[in-house]
Amino acid sequence: NAGVTQTPKFQVLKTGQSMTLQCAQDMNHEYMSWYRQDPGMGLRLIHYSVGAGITDQGEVPNGYNVSRSTTEDFPLRLLSAAPSQTSVYFCASSLAGGTYEQYFGPGTRLTVT
C-alpha cells in the first residue's frame, strides 16, 4: 500500500491564481481530511469528509473548496490564492472520523506571492 499520497510536493502561486492539491489513499478509508500547518503552530482542520459524496467544514474553510466523488480521492481547491494561504497542507485519512488513528500524507508546501 502507498498509504496517503499528495501532489505536488511544492507549489508557488501568484495572488489570484487557482489550483488543486491532490490527495489519494489506497486503504479504503471512509474518513479524509485536509489540514494546514503554519510555522510554529499545530495543524488546523480545513475540510473533512466522512465518505464519498459527503463533505463538511473544519476550523478554517474560507478560500477552499473540496469534493469527494470517490472513496480514494479528496482534492482541495484554492479558488483565488492569497498570501495568507502560504502554508504546508496535509491530507489525512482514517477508517472513520473521531476515534480512529489518522494517517497523514507527506504534505504540500505552498507559497503564494
Footprint on this chain of other proteins (rule: CB under 8 A): 4, 31, 33, 35, 40-45, 48, 50, 58-59, 90, 92, 96-99, 101-107
CA–CA dist 60, 108 (Å, integer): 17
- Minimum distance, C-beta of residue 93 to other proteins, in the bound complex (Å): 11
Q: Which is nearer to other proteins, 85 or 105 (CB)?
A: 105
Backbone angles phi, psi at 83, to 5 degrees: -55, -30
- Minimum distance, C-beta of residue 51 to other proteins, in the bound complex (Å): 11
Residue 83 near residue 12 (C-beta atoms within 8 A): no
Backbone angles phi, psi at 2, to 5 degrees: -80, -20
- Minimum distance, C-beta of residue 70 to other proteins, in the bound complex (Å): 20
Q: Which is nearer to other proteins, 34 or 85 (CB)?
A: 34
Cβ burial of 69 (10 Å; 0-12, 13-18, 19+) is: exposed
Q: Which is nearer to other proteins, 64 or 90 (CB)?
A: 90
Q: Which is nearer to other proteins, 17 or 88 (CB)?
A: 88
Residue 46 near residue 58 (C-beta atoms within 8 A): yes
